[in-house]
Amino acid sequence: MPENGIQSIPHENVLTFEEHLRIIRLSSKFGVNKIRVTGGEPFVRKGIIKFLRDVKQISGIENIHITTNGISTSKFADVLNEIGISGINLSLDTLDEQRFHKITRRDLFANVWKSIQKIIELEIPLKINAVIQNDFNTDEIIPLANLAKEYPIDVRFIEEMPFNGTGKFTSKPFTGKQIYQTLEEEYPDIEQILNNGSTAKMYKIPEFTGKVGIIGAYSRTFCSACNRIRLTSTGMLKTCLYDDGILNLKDLLRSNASDSDIIREIQNSIGNRNKDGFVSESLKKTKNYNAMVNIGG
């Protein structure tokens, strides 16, 4: 969380649930079959449960996933299970309560741990996502990985990206290669699993109940296989985390555009996506990066 918090967005600048649902319905007509609702914590938005139920009813949508920081998730876990949520990604960069407070500006580690235990209890597929920062939490790679030894979950380590809300990114990322070397030193029998279409390289370790993975988010090693598109809360379509946003769907929706017009614009944007994240970054109009908490998940 940025030190000064985040600037609130006027209500009228945020897509309504109805607008989100329209985009999802239209996207399902040309092959989108998986939806991920992201946070921070998605459950702070009033009406989110009804929205998830509505998404579940859309023909063609086969899987609904959640990305959360886990602060309030335990309160909603039973209803998520009842709805049939396909999986939950939970962001957790540390198992140390003091370090957790430093990262999040909140003393709520106990809430997150309660959410993890509840999700596991309900047998909802769970992935823990941990951003590894050089000289900050590299010492927690093994303790975090050991969660997958004890529990049937995936623990995925993510390279730090420059999404800190400024134009400055002076840290030297702890690379995926370094993360793997750390894991290999501790677990010499680690073995990669073929996992086509995933942003993560996944690995199995003998005697582990779950798996571990590495996401080269800064090295951008998965761009050629990426099939993700992102819709921000303010209606900006992004085909890459590193772009400025390539299509303002909010303005299109509110200009009374027809369904066919919207589908055409989305397809054109996807069809003209950049080769990789390095190209997207080079074409940015500003070198300032939104904080990840603003982008979502």
How many domains in the chain?
A: 1
Does residue 198 lie in a domain region?
Answer: yes
* Beta strand residue intervals within 53-180, DSSP E: 63-68, 87-91, 126-132, 154-159
Does residue 3 lie in a domain region?
Answer: no
CATH at residue 133: 3.20.20.70
The answer to whether residues 63 and 33 touch, using CB atoms and an 8 Å cutoff, is yes
**How far is it between the farthest Cα atoms of the chain?**
59
Does residue 201 lie in a domain region?
Answer: yes
Does residue 4 lie in a domain region?
Answer: no
Does residue 53 lie in a domain region?
Answer: yes
Handedness of CA 231, 237, 239, 240 (dihedral sign): negative
pLDDT digits (tens, 9 = 90+) for 204-236: 999 999 999 999 888 887 777 888 899 999 999
Does residue 6 lie in a domain region?
Answer: no
Does residue 190 lie in a domain region?
Answer: yes
Residue type, 9: I
Residue 238 CB-density burial (10 A; 0-12 exposed, 13-18 middle, 19+ buried): buried
pLDDT by position in tens, the chain (length 297): 666 666 778 889 999 999 999 999 999 999 999 999 998 899 999 999 999 999 999 999 999 999 999 999 999 999 999 999 999 999 999 999 999 999 888 899 999 999 999 999 999 999 999 999 998 999 999 999 999 999 999 999 999 886 655 555 556 889 999 999 999 999 999 999 987 667 899 999 999 999 999 998 888 877 778 888 999 999 999 988 888 888 999 999 999 899 999 999 999 999 888 888 878 877 777 766 666 666 665
Cα–Cα distance, 43 to 48 (Å, whole number): 6
**Phi and psi angles of residue 77, each rounded to the nearest 5 degrees, phi first:** -60, -40
- On whether the pTM is more than 0.85, the answer is yes
Domain range for 29 is: 11-295
Q: Supply the pLDDT for residue 9.
A: 82
**Phi and psi angles of residue 131, each rounded to the nearest 5 degrees, phi first:** -80, 125
pLDDT digits (tens, 9 = 90+) for 33-74: 999 999 889 999 999 999 999 999 999 999 999 999 999 999
Sheet of 236-238, strands arranged across: 230-231, 236-238, 247-248
- Decide: helix, strand or coil at residue 292: helix
